[in-house]
Structure 1
């Protein structure tokens, strides 16, 4: 069984149970995980990435428990972008992106022409070539976010997990990121946690969460998924179709 699957995940942080018996088969394409604050979105994503061990249940990668894959195997198959990336260090932006090749190369192998081409393409996709020689801590929040995204892209992994990838990005770059995810999803599985519902609605699939549980999974244009989405936000918004796209509009009446 190929793909990424969560099976009956329960996660407890301190005394709080933040995931309750969550089962999810991650579909191919681009999936956006959405829900109100405290829904368990980032916790679920961290479990899928192997960064958080559940109290019960397991994540399976290509039919094997994720815990049985070596750290390098996981790093080769799953690329990760954290919600708050690091901002210190003396490496240039290009050198930071090149770190994304480590899972494929190991610590001691020299990068070859293919590796350099992948790094170059990742920086072009993330639109951060202009500051390739600047140090990470010298960049603005949005610039830094694009470099860290490029590092994740440079892994060239079949699964790309992104926690709030639009953080610090202005609207034009958010739109560019949506288009990038739509393109990447043709050849790999992209899973992103997003707070901006109108951006999330451009994904192929939505996972709607509330209070540590999955309330709905389905195509982003599905009426039932929209109904659950409006419900978990207390009907404070409505989903409307504008042209070929759906958008979330605050309900102020």
Structure 2
């Protein structure tokens, strides 16, 4: 699978420097990107998806500049879930998920049996098959989010980029999404997700810690240096503790 790389990219949004000379090679497996508000997490993910113009530097997919790859080809290689993703409210759930097949079919292509099978699998994986004939506007926020995750899965791309995918999800479905990202990664998909829930992020294969538009740490969750960086970027308001086989983030109230 071709690598996805950012080479010394910088992005300014209005008067704010969102990314400062960032270099990043997306690893295999599931990578969680974390950091305080305004750290540049979503901007980095959008740049890697080819959705954010960079002011300096370059994003590459394999040996080609991402900006030089036709949009349809990019969409076949990189599936994207936006932070505030939305789709036509009058469409049914199945119709929304079918939109994920557009990069493969083109604007006027007709879906075949293989496309419909991928749609079925995506809905099953995102646990939204039961309401596939309901319209999107009839669903709760959490239900809509599962549909939009399914749409991204239906692309069946080697890269899956998810910006805050747990938005609106209750705890059981947050856990289900973590299991799904792990399964996707185990099957060979490179999964990159921006997460605010640090305990969920600590379950990823790799963590990327950002602050001030820069990457300050990148390692496994059990790496002491990464854990120290997490505590530091969140102003020592958290502690990282062991809980069974996993690491969790807990509030540090300073009086315990």
Q: The TM-score by the shorter chain falls in which range?
A: over 0.9
Per the TM alignment, residue 85 of structure 1 is displaced from its structure 2 partner at its CA by 1.4
Q: Pairwise mapping of residues 1-253 of structure 1 onto structure 2 (< 5 A)?
A: 2-86=2-86, 88-186=88-186, 187-253=188-254
How far the C-alpha of 1:152 sits from its partner, in A, is 0.2
Please list the CA deviations of residues 56-76 of structure 1 after superposition, one character each: whole Å capped at 9, or x if unmatched: 011100121101100011000
SS in 2 for 1:59: strand
Q: Deviation at 1:137?
A: 1.2
> What's the TM-score once normalised by structure 1's chain length?
0.98
Q: Is the 8 A contact 2:87 2:96 kept in 1?
A: no
Question: Where in structure 2 are there 5+ consecutive unaligned residues?
Answer: none
Alpha-carbon offset, residue 221 of structure 1: 2.0
Shift of 1:87: 5.1
Q: CA deviation at 1:81?
A: 0.2
CA deviation after TM superposition for structure 1 residue 220, in Å:
2.2
Of 169-178 and 88-97, the range deviating more from structure 2: 88-97
Matched residue of 2:209: which SS?
Answer: strand
SS at the partner of 2:84? coil
Contact kept? 2:97, 2:147, Cα under 8 Å: yes
User: What SS is found at the alignment partner of 2:109?
Assistant: coil
Superposed displacement of residue 2, structure 1: 2.7
State the distance in 1 between where 2:119 and 2:168 align: 22
Q: Which moved more, 1:108-117 or 1:43-52?
A: 108-117
1:143, distance to aligned residue in structure 2 (A) = 0.4
Give the drift of 1:111: 1.2
Separation of aligned partners in 2, 1:246 and 1:79: 29
Structure 1, unpaired ranges of 5+:
none
The CA RMSD measured in Å over matched residues stands at 1.0
**Hey, which bits of structure 1, 4+ residues long, moved more than 4 A?**
none
**Corresponding residue pairs, total:** 253
Contact 1:11 1:56 survives alignment (8 Å): yes
Name the CA distance, whole Å, in 2 between partners of 1:39 and 1:201. 18
1:90, distance to aligned residue in structure 2 (A): 1.6
Offset from partner CA, 1:95-146 (integer Å, 9 cap, x none): 0000100101112222111111110010011001111011111111000000
